Structure 1
């Protein structure tokens, strides 16, 4: 029984196999055949979906598809380490899309086939994972990803040790040059410093000028949700407080 649970957990992890650092993949090849529709351009762009692992942790996956002058579709996804996983194939016939990833991780080979019906902003269907001698099928729905998903206002809140919540507005601007922003409320207005967004991980530093307190925040991006922890010498050595922000 322990071996079965371990195998299922491993397969579940594989199912969540993608996190994005950046949305434009380069040099990721795929083979596409779609002789009938002539509308391959409809699938071009970045697509994302968020799934929950067996341990309750969320995984946000991103795949990117582009159309070459030759008429071939290219694309790939990234695993949690930020490693590029090229598509084995991309097929589109009419409104039906199928993407296949053939990969090896921790010495174990697996094949994942994502298939569904394409609309303007969604692909809805199922993913079939072949891992060892097992086949897993799950519902799958991907949505078209905005070019710069962090841009906008987020309702931010921090859970304090005494059980209360500190609320503010997290304002982020993301463009080709990077990410900037600020955290503001009636009590403070703090610019985000040393801000970075890599592999779906947002990090920034804020500082309250009146007492010099410096706060280090990190969180994972899950579409319209950011969640993570904040630490600071002013709140205690080794103490981390949970925070989250939801996009308006």
Structure 2
């Protein structure tokens, strides 16, 4: 079973990432694919993290960083802007309880590097961001908290390879509201609501049932940014 995100319905403001550089430079949107070299306790960092930055004019910008695991065991994550654009990080590393994300970016021909580093304690990260621009180095405190928002909200292309060599195709729709997480799996042949949905440490699980024959199907998949891969039994 493989699923690829085709549409996200997060609120636009939840995917804005800006770095105030001096009084006017800003950087929006980022994505990261990097190798984890930590102690193996990577579940502590998987998920979405948020923090707020203030511009020189007093305007606030909310940043959201999502981190998941590749099938290879490497870390993957980043920041999505309202247009869905993704710009790669230079690196993401987790060593013990220390996380570091490095962004190598260019604006109007001017290159700068920003390094976010901090200690992961439960649902919080606390440390500093270091911005290097030309011969200047700026440092400021950085505090991020775990975001409880479901990171898989949206529509996903769903494909399932069958034993006879065919491929079933459908759309997986996941939605979060005040009542919790809901969804359905729909195609021209069926429309099945999702039951018993859970998402923990990057692992999505749900149950579907076809009314025609009463068959019950248990799906599980690992989240890798814009891709979910797993199995149906």
TM-score by length of 1: 0.48
The alpha-carbon distance between structure 1 residues 186 and 176, as it changes in their structure 2 partners (threshold 3 A), is: same
Q: 1: distance between equivalents of 2:213 and 2:4?
A: 52
**Structure with the greater alpha carbon radius of gyration:** 1
Q: 2: distance between equivalents of 1:44 and 1:33?
A: 14
Structure 2 contact 99–119 (Cα < 8 Å) conserved: yes
The alpha-carbon distance between structure 1 residues 22 and 64, as it changes in their structure 2 partners (threshold 3 A), is: farther
Aligned-pair distance for 1:83?
3.1
Cα offsets for 1:113-171 (capped at 9, x unmatched): 00000012011000001122211100001111112599999999999999999999999
Aligned residue number for residue 68 of structure 1: 70
Structure 1 contact 112–127 (Cα < 8 Å) conserved: yes
Higher relative contact order (CA 8 A, sep 6+): 2
Secondary structure of the structure 1 residue equivalent to 2:10: helix
Secondary structure of the structure 1 residue equivalent to 2:148: coil
Structure 1 contact 104–110 (Cα < 8 Å) conserved: yes
The alpha-carbon distance between structure 1 residues 28 and 195, as it changes in their structure 2 partners (threshold 3 A), is: same
Structure 2 contact 196–206 (Cα < 8 Å) conserved: yes
Structure 1 contact 18–77 (Cα < 8 Å) conserved: no
Aligned-pair distance for 1:87?
1.5
Structure 1 contact 12–54 (Cα < 8 Å) conserved: no
Q: 2: distance between equivalents of 1:229 and 1:18?
A: 44
The alpha-carbon distance between structure 1 residues 116 and 25, as it changes in their structure 2 partners (threshold 3 A), is: same
Q: Structure 1 residues 2-11 or 123-132, which shifts more?
A: 2-11
TM-score by length of 2: 0.51
The alpha-carbon distance between structure 1 residues 110 and 197, as it changes in their structure 2 partners (threshold 3 A), is: farther
The alpha-carbon distance between structure 1 residues 83 and 132, as it changes in their structure 2 partners (threshold 3 A), is: farther
Secondary structure of the structure 2 residue equivalent to 1:8: coil
Q: Structure 1 residues 53-62 or 83-92, which shifts more?
A: 83-92
Aligned length: 230
Q: Structure 1 residues 161-170 or 118-127, which shifts more?
A: 161-170
Aligned-pair distance for 1:106?
2.5
Structure 2 contact 47–202 (Cα < 8 Å) conserved: no
The alpha-carbon distance between structure 1 residues 228 and 53, as it changes in their structure 2 partners (threshold 3 A), is: farther
Aligned-pair distance for 1:107?
2.3
Aligned-pair distance for 1:219?
35
Structure 1 contact 124–142 (Cα < 8 Å) conserved: yes
Extract unaligned runs of 5+ from structure 2: none
Secondary structure of the structure 2 residue equivalent to 1:187: coil
Aligned-pair distance for 1:37?
1.1
Q: 2: distance between equivalents of 1:2 and 1:155?
A: 5
Structure 1 contact 25–75 (Cα < 8 Å) conserved: no
Extract unaligned runs of 5+ from structure 1: 231-248
Structure 2 contact 89–104 (Cα < 8 Å) conserved: yes
Secondary structure of the structure 2 residue equivalent to 1:12: helix
Q: CA RMSD in A?
A: 15.6
